[in-house]
Structure 1
Amino acid sequence: MKLAPGLTEDEIRKCEEVFDIKFPPTLKNLLKEVLPISKEFINWRDHSKRNVLQIKKRLDWPWKGIIFDIEENDFWVQNWGVKPDLVAERIRIAKEKYDVAPKLVPIYSHRYMPEGSEQVLSVYQTDIIFYGTTLLEYFQIELDWKPYERMDFENIKAIPFWTEIIDANN
């Protein structure tokens, strides 16, 4: 991993415009201090065509995983209503829900922060779990400084759409 100087306010604004996202405040503050770069961390400063496409893939990855589980694993959330017989209709309904859900901003690998939240989610298809109630707690868990079992579970707050998927798997 390489640590580059943090992003400027203009660079943050450009990323939010180019990728149509809003960095959660603690992630924004971290990225203003230091920019971690590796295969798993995103180089938000690099706006080359190749890197922009890679970032867009990371932003789309959670949706692609939901589609996969609807098509291949018969995934459905009861709160979405009666499950249609046609897979295409299930995907259409899920997409309507997804389009109004808080966007997930990638942090590292398959860890994301929902816009407007300080919590961190681990997202792999519809296997989604909370992985930190704050960015700091997430890094403590990811770096093995704190066991996952000691996460501050009492302070988890529901996140529209994403918590429904978590609950559907429990």
Structure 2
Amino acid sequence: MPRLVPVFGHRFTPAAPSPSGSPVISAWQTDIIYCGANLLEYLADEYPLEQGRKTLSPISVRAPFWSRFVEAANRAEST
């Protein structure tokens, strides 16, 4: 299982050799979701300079192991 690098609290990004622009993942026990398409989007959404929360951009970079885990969990919840 690839390691995660802590960003803040229970938010993480995949460690190297993960591709540049990897998503930020919230991992709390078995609840694992995307929090941002990349670190810049996560920070802009978590600490906005303007009022209003934007929607999550599509995830363009898949993180080995973790993307499969998040997507499989979300498919199971929607059925």
* Alignment TM-score, normalising by the size of structure 1: 0.35
Q: How far, CA to CA, are the matches of 1:136 and 1:104 in structure 2?
A: 17
Identify, as 1 or 2, the structure richer in helix.
Answer: 1
| Structure 1 residue 167 displacement after superposition | 2.1
* Partner SS state of residue 169, structure 1: helix
Task: Describe how 1:23-38 pairs up with structure 2 within 5 A.
Answer: none
Q: Which has the higher contact order (CA 8 A, sep 6+)?
A: 2
Could you tell me which residue of structure 2 aligns to residue 166 of structure 1? 70
Gap runs ≥5 in structure 1: 1-97
Q: How far, CA to CA, are the matches of 1:160 and 1:134 in structure 2?
A: 14
What letter matches 2:6 in structure 1? P
Rg larger in structure: 1
The answer to whether the aligner puts 1:147 opposite 2:53 as a matched pair is yes
Could you tell me which residue of structure 1 aligns to residue 10 of structure 2? 110
Q: 2:34 aligns with which of 130, 133, 149?
A: 130
| Structure 1 residue 142 displacement after superposition | 1.2
Residue-pair matches, total: 68
Q: CA deviation digits over 1:90-142, x for unaligned, max 9?
A: xxxxxxxx2xx2x1000100000112243211111221111112212111111
Provide the alpha-carbon RMSD of the alignment: 2.0
State the percentage of identical aligned residues: 35
Q: How far, CA to CA, are the matches of 2:30 and 2:72 in structure 1?
A: 9
Q: CA deviation digits over 1:71-100, x for unaligned, max 9?
A: xxxxxxxxxxxxxxxxxxxxxxxxxxx2xx
Gap runs ≥5 in structure 2: 75-79
Could you tell me which residue of structure 1 aligns to residue 77 of structure 2? none
Using a 3 Å threshold, how does the CA distance of structure 1 residues 110 and 157 change in structure 2: closer, same or farther?
same
What letter matches 2:62 in structure 1? A
Instruction: Say whether the 8 Å CA contact 1:126–1:165 is kept in structure 2.
Output: no
